[in-house]
Structure formats: C-alpha cells, structure tokens
Chains A and B, each alone.
Chain A
Amino acid sequence: MVEDYNKDEEIEKLTESLKHNKKSDFEFHDTINPVYSTGAGLTRKTVEEISDIKHEPDWMRRSRLKALEIFLSKPMPTWGPDLSGIDFDSLTYYSKPGETKAKNWDDVPDKIKETFDKLGIPQMEQKYLAGSVAQYDSEGVYGSLRKEWEDKGVIFTDLDTAIQEHPDLVKDYYCRAIPPSDNKFAALNGAVWSGGSFLYVPKNVQIDMPLQTYFRMNGEQSGQFEHTIVVADEGAKVHYIEGCTAPKYNTSSLHTAIVEIYARKNSDVKYTSVQNWSDSVYNLPVKRAWVDENAHMDWVTGELGSKVTMIYPSSYLRGRKASTSNLQITLATKDTFKDAGGKALHLAPDTTSRIVSKSISLDNGVTAYRGLVRMNEGALRAKSHVQCDALLINSDSKNYTYPYDEIYEPTAEFSHEATVGKIGTDELTYLRSRGLSEDEASSMIVLGFMDDIMKEIPMEFAVEMNRLVKLEMSKMGAVG
C-alpha cells in the first residue's frame, strides 16, 4: 500500500515533468554540418571509405566488402510491408557529426549536447543508469560508465571504440549470431555499419542499474546502421536499454541495426528498447540472442514510431534449461505498418519460452504479428506459450496474425492464444459515466490493454510511453 502510493506519486510527478508533450517534440532537427559524409549512394567505394575513416583492422574491412556483395546479390523480401519507398541510391550511408567521443557531456559539441538535453538523456543517466552511450547519426558522441562497474571489468562503449581497444574480444562475437548471409538487411548492416554499443559484463558481475544507449538520427535521407553486441559472461546479469528518435522529413530514412546478444551459461540479460522514430523512417533491425545453458533472456520492445517496422527479436535457446521471454508492444498510427513478432528456437532440452505481443492499430494503421516457435527434435520437455492480442481502434484499423509453429519434439508443450478486439462501448461508457472524457476513457483502456507489458518496462520509459500513446489517441478521430 505504502509502496503503491509512492509508486503512484512518482508516476504522477514523472508525468508532470515530462518534457515531451507532443510527438513533434522529438521531431525537431538540428542544422549541423557533419565533419565527414560519404554522400549519397552505396558502392564498393563507399564501404572502403567508411572502413578507411575508421582505421579498421583488415578483417573488418574484408568482412564489410563480403557483406556488400551479399547485400547486392540478395533480393528484397517479397513478404510483409511494402518497402518500395526506400531509395537506396539517395540515402547517405555514413555521416560523422564531430571529431570527439566525449566521456563528459561538457565535451560534447554544443548543438549535439543541446539535442540530447532536449531529449532528457543526461538527466536520465544521472538518475538511474549505470552507464550511457549516445549516438548521433553514424557515430557515438558520448559514452560513460560508472567507475564501480569499470573497476569490475565491465566494458561499455561504442563498437568502433571497442574494436580499437578490445579487438580480440570483439572479433569473438562480431556477426556470430547474425552473419551477413542471414538476410538482405543483415548484409547491409555488415557492409556499412557504424556505431552501436559494445557491452561486456564479466563472469559473475551483476549490474543492478540499467545501461542505456540512445540513438538520434538527424540527417535527412540518411541511414543509421549501428551494430550492437551485448555479452553477459557466465553468471552475469545486466539490463541494457535502447531509445531512438529522429526528426520528421518528407523523404525517407532507413534504420537497419543489428543487435547481437550472447547470454552465456547461468547469465540473465534483459534488453529493453523503445523506438519512437518519426514516420519518415523505415525501421528494419535484426535482433537475436544466443542463450546458453540455464541462462535467461528477456526482450521488451516498444515499437511506437516509424513508417514501416519489421522486427522479430529472436532467442536461440542453445543450452539445457535456457529460457526467454519476449514482450512486445506495437503501435501503428495513420499510414504506418508495423510487422513484428518474436521468435524462439528451442534447440536443447528443458528450454522454455514465452512470447507476448500486444498490438494497437489507430486510424488506418496496420499491425501484423509474425512469430516463430521452433522446437527441434531432442528439445525434450521444451515449453512455449505465445499470446498475441490486437486492439483495433477505428473501423479501418487492421491487424494480421502469421504464427509459424514448427514443433518436431513429441514431448514438447506448445500453446498459442490470439485475440483481436475493439474498445468496448460498455467499458467506455463505464469510465465516461464517472466523468472521463471519451479520449481519456479510450486511452485509459488502451493503456490497460498494454499494462502486462508496461509493468516490465522501467517506470521512466513506461510513463513516457503512456504519454505518447495518449497523444496519439487524442490526435485521431472518434473510436469505432
């Protein structure tokens, strides 16, 4: 009760203190001239240029060029949302905002610091993060890690810096879970990746505060291609968070990230990301975790923004008793398409997975659940439960469900529940009869629908997400 009151009070305070009252508060853009840019288009030369400017080891350069070949040879996916709006030739693949990588906010160039201030990043860091990395366009511009964790051997920095400082460690993990041959966009990232975070938590180190990377894409017609690697060594515990925003343009931008997570034996990893890209962004990341014996992997993803999103965080349960939970909220607003879902591959006995997807479509927004549960023969007693709930707010809102279940192990247990609903008139009337306006009542019902997942998100993010959903709800027309 007391805790409850405290929590409510904190939520109320946070809500009042929120800096962002409208989605457009995230959509401002800076007039900043990059110190280096490859210009528009993607050729072998572009890739070599990126590699040169980063002074990379030779293996990385070769890996990039190989990935480029794969990218060029693979066709575009023929399923899912329409991607024809991506003009690969007019995108700028690499844009470097400044020369420095600061460890102190005061050393970040003024304009860029201003941006992150507006987004509230330094404040967040002070309050509840163990470490923070900030990326602006193609490069990390800021990185810090509390000394306590640095002393324990934790590494948290942008991937470029990590390659320079810990080349062997990075090489052990780079593109192992997600090789460029995996799919066209993994290959694209392999060719032009820049930035992203490298987080290594040594054996038995358990970090009790989250670490966060914030990605800001400022350039018009640009691409952001970060590559993030999280390694939790045996018995380690870590919570890693990502946030992303971008200005709104009339032209399209592309975000194709890779996130590779290695949860080693007995480790516990939680990955939370909330993206609020403006709706000129195509968001096509590839996220995958290798989960070893008795390790646990939590995915919590909030897909609020972008024009098109295709995201299917995957857990490869490779060791006995490995487990995963995958919670996802997707919100499709006017003229946007969110194709999302979780994948769990049970490759060992006694592995368990839980996938919960909650999708909300407003206006003519489209959400699709596309998930996979595979239980290989020999994954004895594996268990999986998938639940996907869709809420359609308006009459032209749409949702599709494409579950792929591949169960080859007779002793495995698998269950799948799916619901599609609308906001009920009775519920709305109940709330309105107590004085809530129609807008307030419907956003309250939507937030209630998402509540299972909101509980798992750090309060600061949950409050921000609540606010964003309310704003989207208040922008659209009548429910029904």
Chain B
Amino acid sequence: MAIPTSSQTIGPFFRAALERPAWSDLTREGVAGEGVRIEGTVYDGDRTPVPDALLELWQADANGSYTHADGRFRGFGRACTDHDGRFWFRTIVPGPVPGANGAVQAPHANLTIFARGLLKRLVTRIYFGDHAEENVRDPLLASIEDAAVRATLIAPRTEHAGGIPVYTFDVVLQGAGETAFLAI
C-alpha cells in the first residue's frame, strides 16, 4: 500500500482557480424539491470572520440518493467566504440516507472547509433543524454526548415571507461554540 500524499494548506490565493460563483447554487439547472438557502459565517478562535475560506457541499437528492441520476442536480456545491466571512448555498433538503446496519441517517449535507491556516481540510455535517424527530434518531448525532456540541451541527430554519427558507449554519473553527468536526 502506498502512503497517501500529505495535505498542505489551500493558502490565501486560490480564487483564480477555485472560485466558481455559479457553484453556490446547486439548483441552477433545476431540481425537484423545495428550494432552500444554507448560509452562515466562518469564524476563527477570536470570533473574527474568516474571509478566505472555501467550502464544499456534498448531499443526496430529495429521495436520499447520491447517484444523482437526474443529471441536473449533482449534489455538489462550492462557495468562498466574502470579506465578512459569509458564505451561502442554494439547494434542496436531501432525503434521509441509508446508514450502517440498516439504520437511517437524518437528512444532512456533508461540508468540507479549506482555509489559510488549515494544513488539512475540516469536515462536518449540516443537519436541518425542522427535522427534529429524524435528527434524534440519527446515528452520528446520537453518538455525540454533549448536547451543546451536537447542536453545532443542526441548522435552524427561518421562514422568509416572499422568499425561500433559510438554514443558518455558522462554522466556528476554534473556541466557544466550536463546530463539531469529524474524522471520516
């Protein structure tokens, strides 16, 4: 077995190659399901916004399938934070996904974070706050004993008159309110 190549930081100067504004909208070619926004801010250990992070989203479709046979919705998104550390995705809420040993995983989007100062990426998950019953039964959420840590993975939903619902998911790299990051 060969040893996997070591990770290095994305650094601050990736935008010419990696910034693809269109990729923030996973629904840009159309998709079945309720359109929603996921938005948030990336913070460092001083609660200072991180203006040079890159985030990627990977999720199932409304049926909980990752095969994306539809061809228009690929389940993949990419966003860069702005000067205020903010990012957004437009997407749909995925369906529940099969887990290990016949378990069902609550709807979730997989999120990875790259930034200057991160020598390797961070991985986390976004769960959807209005899916409370499914979240309670989710194997990963259930494995996190500390309720405050578990809560960092659950994005509350806000309705907006005349607009699409928004799920708010902040990423706190360090310290108070630090996001639960995953080893996968």
Chains A and B belong together in one complex? no
Which residues of B are in contact with A by a Cβ distance under 8 Å? Answer: none
Which residues of A are in contact with B by a Cβ distance under 8 Å? Answer: none
